A and B are shown apart, each in its own frame.
Chain A
Amino acid sequence: MSNLLRFWIDHRGELAIMLGEHVFLVAISTVIAAGIGVPLGVFAARRPRLATPFVAVANVVQTIPSLAMFGFLLPVPLLGGVGARAAVVALVFYALLPIVRSTIVGITSISASIRDVGVAMGMRSRDLLWQIELPLATPSIVGGIRVAAVIGVGSATIAAAIGAGGLGQYIYRGLSMVDSTVILAGAIPAALLALVVDGALVWLEQRLSTRQRTSPRRRVAALGTLLIVIAVLGTVSVRARGTSTIVVGSKNFTEQIILGEIVAQTIERETGLPVQRRLNLGGTLICDRALLTGDVDVYVEYTGTALTAIFHQQPSNDRGAVINTVRDLYARSGRTLLPGLGYDNTFAILVRGSDARQRGLRTIDDVARVAPQWRAGFGYEFLERPDGYPGLAKTYGLMFRDPPQVMDLMLSYRALAARQVDLIAGDATAGLIEGLDLVQLDDNRRYFPPYDAVPVARATTLLRYPEVRHALERLSGRISATEMRRMNYAADARHENPADIARAFLDRSR
């Protein structure tokens, strides 16, 4: 608990911004959904035959999982892509159902005799709507908006996956760092926000159902105007963010966020162009889509990942060939592969630093000599995949004392340091390598496929802003695996801010 409080105090500026983004997302999407949903509900309520299919369609939309919804929206022009706009579109879809339904219920539950009296007094259809139906349905409609807003607070946490910001960023960051403090740092304010929103709208609901002295038409008109103003302001501000800035993306784990900051700050320092950060995007495919559609101008990818996950080619352990293939494939879809940052984030065969020094171990070949007395621990994935343990054992002729133990990847670092096993396969840039005094053995037979970290940018952006290309080329070969481990360690273990880590790195290696 005290950890959590300290985290909030240390990150209070960031927390305030995320909270602001979250409220913005929910407010704007609820307002737009009300602007669409109430007229839609009125329309359906007056044509009973339409009401049922309307609610059915809205029900189906409601059941689409949020991540799938973002996936559907990614390639849609104007509405989709990544960033706040696409998140708002998705949230609007979710908010529509309760609003449409409550509007239909509010209007259809008005007694027929009240409506008859209105007609008999000579009200036209629109008089009936504005003077009788809407005022009497208002409590029900506000109730629907309340449900929509509360659902929105929850759904908006997922918006962080497509770079729309909000409290979900802590949740994702915490998940990628396996740090429950950070998860709670985002989840608790989100839950509190839901309660506050709920309470505020209950209050509004009561205000609107106690009778007001103002004329109902004027009241409804004022509410409508307010909604429109907020919606216009929101649209403008969402748009304003997108013009003539360079957008830097990243995936949603620590190393990627640090790299995103390094790229962003380098562009800022070298070119003076405004940079927008869309860090923490939910995975490789979302980053790739965003780069294709122009929602992101540049992010750092790994050559092996691009080859297999993006372009669906066979893995290869020929470093030069992989780079050439990937550069070629990117070029065909209007993207440019820039020079590598200087490290390879591949599998790393790790041993304790003390063992390496005592026995003079430098390469995997060296370890083959001592292996028959050693125990190994591997993650399940590494044991199974073809470019994992089976091939490794064959390539180097490795034999261990016992069959390798299966263990969780994160735990295997600790198990190695605690002498429960003597050799593991980890990530080459894991911060724990640095923190636990582990040593990576050289893959001298080039068994593992290369995962060189390389910036990828939109070709059109580089043509328009050649200075961006120059800036990114200056990063070429500047980050070693050791350097990357240190930075990951600073973020994961010491909870330093990725932006500060990036700044310190750029200052240091100027």
Chain B
Amino acid sequence: MDGVEFRHVSFGYRAGVRVLDDLTVTIRAGEVLALVGASGTGKTTLLKLVNRMLVPDEGAVYVQGKDTREWDPIRLRRSIGYVIQEVGLFPHLEVGGNIAVVPRLEQWPDDAVAARVRELLALVGLPPEQFADRWPDELSGGQRQRVGVARALAADPPVLLMDEPFGALDPVTRRQLHNEFRRIQARVSKCVILVTHDLTEAMLLGDRVGVMERGRLIWCGPPADIDASTDPTVRELVEAASLPPSFPRATA
């Protein structure tokens, strides 16, 4: 059991207000679950329960078959890559230094760290000799997101959490990065939970799409099936995205 499993998970920041309500879902190794929903529906909270930034009030989250409460939080977090929107790169470290954070925390030898930085920069399409020594504020938004992905993959974690990773990018860059993401995922094959507010993006990138509303997962299934849903919230989303009737699946 290599993936992530939520079993009847409920969570609230304040007593009586449930941000997540009895949520059950399993994400297998190599699978991408794309969560979509309006702001405040609990998507980011769900991610924070995976790397034990938060602990469930009820139910349990299992990562690689083990309850997050039983994990050493440091070990757990180092085996989970985390990509967030816009910021997230440390401004006082160069691109190479940012990517090397977790390997250095894990005390890899220097030459192994350097080799890994080069490998990952190449993987995300940034020539290492040009980019390793740049500062984050010398990069474009798209380049920064690529570095963010490279950093999350640095210690080869089995699980990857992505919180609106492409949210702040212009449409052209975003389409490029969607393609990049699919190419990279095809090679690294991680268990990925990706959060977005854009159904098109969710359908492009997810093996399955989950629709969230008020802390509940109201629909979950392969993108091709979403048209068939009769749930009014899901229908509203689909119509807002104005998708062509026969939407092509990227990895199909």
Within 8 A of A (CB), among B53-107: 53, 73-78, 80, 82, 84, 87-88, 90-94, 97, 101-102, 105
**A121 in contact with B78 given A211-B94, A216-B92 (CB within 8 Å):** yes
Q: How far is the CA of A113 from the CA of B44 in the complex (A)?
A: 13
* In the assembled complex, B51 has its CB within 8 A of some CB on chain A: yes
Known: A119-B77, A123-B105, A213-B94; 20 extra A-B contacts, CB below 8 A, are: A111-B87, A113-B84, A114-B91, A117-B84, A119-B53, A120-B51, A120-B80, A120-B82, A121-B82, A121-B101, A121-B105, A122-B74, A122-B76, A123-B101, A124-B74, A132-B90, A135-B92, A136-B91, A211-B92, A215-B97
Q: List which A101-142 residues lie within 8 A (CB) of chain B.
A: 111, 113-114, 116-124, 127, 131-132, 135-136
Report the separation of the CA atoms of residues A245 and B102 in the bound assembly, to the nearest whole angstrom: 58
B92 touches A117 (CB 8 A): no
Number of interface residues of A (CB under 8 A): 21
Q: Say yes or no: B91 contacts A121, CB within 8 Å.
A: no
User: Distance (Å) between the CB of B145 and the closest chain A CB?
Assistant: 14
Q: B53, A114: Cβ atoms under 8 Å?
A: no
Tell me the complex Cα distance, A458–B99, Å.
68
B135 at the interface (CB under 8 A from A): yes
Q: How far is the CA of A132 from the CA of B80 in the complex (A)?
A: 20
Q: In the bound complex, do residue A120 and residue B77 qualify as a contact, i.e. CB atoms below 8 Å apart?
A: yes
A120 to B93 Cα, complex, angstroms: 17
CB neighbours (8 Å) of A119 from chain B are 53, 77
Rounded to whole angstroms, the CA-CA distance of A128 and B135 in the bound complex is 20
Chain A proximity of B213: nearest CB distance (Å): 26
Q: Which residues of B contact A124 (CB under 8 A)?
A: 74
**A118 and B78 alpha carbons, distance in the complex (Å):** 11
| 4 cross-chain pairs, A with B, having the tightest CB-CB distances, nearest first | A122-B78, A122-B77, A120-B82, A135-B92
**In the complex, what's the smallest C-beta–C-beta distance from B187 to chain A, in angstroms?**
22
Give the residues in chain A near B84, CB-CB below 8 Å: 113, 117
Q: Are A121 and B53 closer than 8 Å at their CB atoms? A: no
Q: Given A122-B74, A124-B74, are A117 and B82 neighbors across the interface (CB < 8 Å)?
A: yes
Cα distance, A111 to B84, chains bound together (Å): 14
Cβ-closest chain B residue relative to A127: B105
Tell me which residues across on chain B come within 8 A of A117, comparing CB atoms: 82, 84, 87-88, 90
The answer, among A114, A121, A132, A211, for a CB contact under 8 Å with B77, is: A121
Q: In the assembled complex, how far is the CB of residue B240 from the closest CB belonging to chain A, in whole angstroms?
A: 29
Which of A's residues lie within 8 Å of B, judged by CB?
111, 113-114, 116-124, 127, 131-132, 135-136, 211, 213, 215-216
* A127: B residues at CB distance < 8 A: 105
Q: Is the CB of B135 within 8 A of A211?
A: yes
Residues A113 and B90 in contact in the complex (CB < 8 Å), given A119-B77, A121-B105: no
Chain B residues near A121: list those with CB within 8 A. Answer: 77-78, 82, 101-102, 105
Nearest CB on B from A6, distance (A): 53
Taken together as a complex, chains A and B put the C-alpha atoms of A2 and B102 apart, in Å, by 66
Q: How far is the CA of A124 from the CA of B77 in the complex (A)?
A: 10
Q: Which B residues, 99 to 117, have Cβ-Cβ distances below 8 Å to chain A?
A: 101-102, 105
CB-nearest residue of chain B to A216: B92
B91 surroundings in chain A (CB, below 8 A): 114, 136
Chain B residues with CB below 8 A from A131, complex form: 90, 101
A113 & B88 in contact (Cβ 8 Å cutoff): yes
Q: Which residues of A contact B87 (CB under 8 A)?
A: 111, 113-114, 117
Closest to A116 in B: B53
Nearest Cβ on chain B to A81's Cβ, whole angstroms: 44
- Complexed CA–CA distance, A209 and B80 (Å): 32
* Assembly CA distance A442 to B156 (angstroms): 101
A127 to chain B, nearest CB (A): 6
Q: Which of A111, A119, A122 has the most CB of B within 10 A?
A: A122
What separation, in Å, do the CA atoms of A120 and B105 have in the docked complex? 13
Interfacial chain A residues near B53, Cβ < 8 Å:
116, 119-120
A114 / chain B contacts, CB cutoff of 8 Å: 87-88, 90-91
Which residues of the partner chain B approach A136 to less than 8 Å between Cβ atoms?
91-92
Which residue in chain A gives the minimum CB-CB distance to B101?
A121
CB distance from B164 to the nearest CB of A (A): 12
A135 surroundings in chain B (CB, below 8 A): 92
**B92 smallest CB distance to A (angstroms):** 5
Q: How far is the CB of A216 from chain B (nearest CB, A)?
A: 7
19 A-B pairs in the complex with CB atoms less than 8 angstroms apart:
A113-B84, A113-B87, A114-B90, A117-B82, A119-B53, A121-B82, A121-B102, A122-B73, A122-B76, A122-B77, A122-B102, A122-B105, A131-B101, A136-B92, A211-B92, A211-B94, A213-B94, A216-B92, A216-B93
| B-chain residues with CB within 8 Å of residue A116 when the two chains form the complex | 53
Q: Which chain A residues lie closer than 8 Å to B77 at the CB level?
A: 119-122
Among residues of A, the one whose C-beta sits closest to the C-beta of B75 is A122
Residues of the A chain whose Cβ atoms lie less than 8 Å from the Cβ of B102: 121-122
In this complex, the member of A117, A118, A124, A216 whose beta carbon has the largest number of chain B beta carbons within 10 angstroms is: A117
CB nearest to B85 among chain A residues: A113
